[in-house]
Structure 1
Amino acid sequence: MQRTSDINIIETRALPSPAALLAELPKTETQADFVTRARHEINQLIFTADKRFLFVVGPCSIHDLDAGREYARRLAALARQVADRVTIAMRVYFEKPRTTVGWKGLIMDPHLDGSHDIAAGLRLARAFLRDVLDLGLPTATELLDPITPQYIADLVCWSAIGARTTESQTHRQMASGLSMPLGFKNGTDGSIGSAINAIRAAAQPQTFLGINVEGAASALVTRGNPHCHIVLRGGSAGPNYAPEHIARTEQLLAKAGLPKSILVDCSHDNSAKQPERQPEVLRAVLAQIVAGNTSLMGAMIESNLAAGNQPFPQPKDQLRYGVSITDGCIDWSATEALVHEIHAALAPRFA
Structure 2
Amino acid sequence: MERIHNMGYKNIRKIMDADEIIKLLPLPEELRKIKEKRDEEIRNVFNGTSDKFIVIIGPCSADNEEAVCEYVSRLGKLQEKVKDKLIIIPRIYTNKPRTTGEGYKGMLHQPDPEKEPNISDGILAIRKMHIHALEISGLTAADEMLYPDNLAYMEDLISYHAVGARSVENQQHRLTSSCLDLPVGMKNPTSGDLSVMFNAIQAAQSGHNFIYRSNEVQSTGNPYAHAILRGYVNRHGENMPNYHYEDLELAIDFYEKRGFENPALIVDTNHSNSRKRYYEQTRIAKEILYSRKYNTKLKKVIKGLLIESYLLPGCQEISEHMEFGKSITDPCLGWEESEELINYIAENI
Flag whether TM exceeds 0.5 (same fold): yes
8 Å Cα contact 1:22/1:151 also seen in 2:
yes
> In the TM superposition, what whole-angstrom CA distance separates every residue of 1:78-117 from its partner, at most 9, and x where no partner exists?
1111010011000010000011111111001112245221
SS in structure 1 of the partner of residue 155 of structure 2: helix
Query: How far off its partner does 1:288 sit?
Result: 1.4
Q: Paired residue for 2:13?
A: 13
Q: Paired residue for 1:111?
A: 112
8 Å Cα contact 2:140/2:157 also seen in 1:
no
Confirm whether residue 72 of structure 1 aligns to residue 72 of structure 2: yes
CA distance in 2, matches of 1:137, 1:160: 17
222-231 vs 3-12, greater mean Cα deviation: 3-12
Confirm whether residue 306 of structure 1 aligns to residue 309 of structure 2: no
Q: How does 1:118-267 map to 2 (within 5 A)?
A: 118-134=119-135, 135-211=137-213, 217-237=214-234, 238-258=240-260, 259-267=262-270
Q: Paired residue for 1:63?
A: 63
8 Å Cα contact 2:162/2:184 also seen in 1:
yes
CA distance in 1, matches of 2:217, 2:279: 43
Query: How far off its partner does 1:296 sit?
Result: 1.1
Q: Which letter maps to 1:15?
A: I
Q: Which letter maps to 2:211?
A: L
Unaligned runs of 5+ in 2: 235-239
Q: How does 1:44-55 map to 2 (within 5 A)?
A: 44-55=44-55
8 Å Cα contact 1:88/1:138 also seen in 2:
no
SS in structure 1 of the partner of residue 300 of structure 2: coil
8 Å Cα contact 1:239/1:271 also seen in 2:
yes
Query: How far off its partner does 1:3 sit?
Result: 8.6
Unaligned runs of 5+ in 1: 212-216, 347-351
Query: How far off its partner does 1:6 sit?
Result: 4.7
Query: How far off its partner does 1:49 sit?
Result: 5.0
Q: TM-score, structure 1 length as denominator?
A: 0.92
Confirm whether residue 296 of structure 1 aligns to residue 302 of structure 2: yes
Q: Which letter maps to 1:279?
A: T
Q: Which letter maps to 2:83?
A: A
Q: Which letter maps to 1:328?
A: P
8 Å Cα contact 2:109/2:122 also seen in 1:
yes
Query: How far off its partner does 1:257 sit?
Result: 1.2
8 Å Cα contact 1:305/1:322 also seen in 2:
yes
Q: TM-score, structure 2 length as denominator?
A: 0.93
8 Å Cα contact 2:94/2:143 also seen in 1:
yes
8 Å Cα contact 1:271/1:278 also seen in 2:
yes
Query: How far off its partner does 1:2 sit?
Result: 11
> In the TM superposition, what whole-angstrom CA distance separates every residue of 1:208-258 from its partner, at most 9, and x where no partner exists?
3232xxxxx222322221111100001014111111111111010111111
How many residues align? The count is: 338
Q: Paired residue for 2:237?
A: none
CA distance in 2, matches of 1:64, 1:146: 23
Q: Which letter maps to 1:41?
A: E
CA distance in 2, matches of 1:7, 1:159: 32
Q: Give me the identity figure in percent.
A: 31
8 Å Cα contact 1:92/1:141 also seen in 2:
yes
SS in structure 1 of the partner of residue 9 of structure 2: coil
CA distance in 2, matches of 1:178, 1:108: 24
Change (3 A) 1:37 1:295: same
CA distance in 1, matches of 2:184, 2:143: 10
Q: Which letter maps to 2:138?
A: G
Q: Which letter maps to 2:263?
A: K
> In the TM superposition, what whole-angstrom CA distance separates every residue of 1:161-209 from its partner, at most 9, and x where no partner exists?
0010001101001111123211100111111111111111011222332
